[in-house]
Amino acid sequence: MDKITKEYLTEVKKSDADINASKWQLLFYLKVLKSKGIIRKGKLECVEKKKSDNKIYYFELTDEIEQELETYINDIEKLISNETIPDVLNKPKCKKCAYYEYCYI
């Protein structure tokens, strides 16, 4: 969470390479805030090296999205409580994954 105003919670990323993961991260933050009685919309700012490539995405935590988010949270909790570690995917996307070091180093 990088910034919060009366209307938005803003998350800033260096690129939009994995916009879907960034979107769900932001939506999770909105859910946590909502659970504390703080209602905000989400703003995702992708700040590229070339400023002309900067992009801003807007998200809102609807009931439908919150239900979908809940399924992801449950899946993650199951994964964490699992006795066995999932196999490494060995896909091109692994090189850009935030968990690369955990899987390969």
Residues that bind ligand SF4 (CB under 6 A): 88-89, 93-94, 97, 99-100, 103
Sign of the CA dihedral with 91 first, then 89, 25, and 62 last: positive
Report the alpha-carbon angle 40-21-3, nearest 5.
Answer: 35
H/E element holding 27? helix 19-35
How far apart are CB 99 and ligand SF4 at their closest, in Å? 4
How far apart are CB 22 and ligand SF4 at their closest, in Å? 15
Residue 34 or 93: which CB sits closer to ligand SF4? 93
Residue 34 or 96: which CB sits closer to ligand SF4? 96
How far apart are CB 9 and ligand SF4 at their closest, in Å? 25
> Long-range contacts for 33-36 (Cβ within 8 Å, ≥24 apart)?
33/9, 34/61
Residue 76 or 89: which CB sits closer to ligand SF4? 89
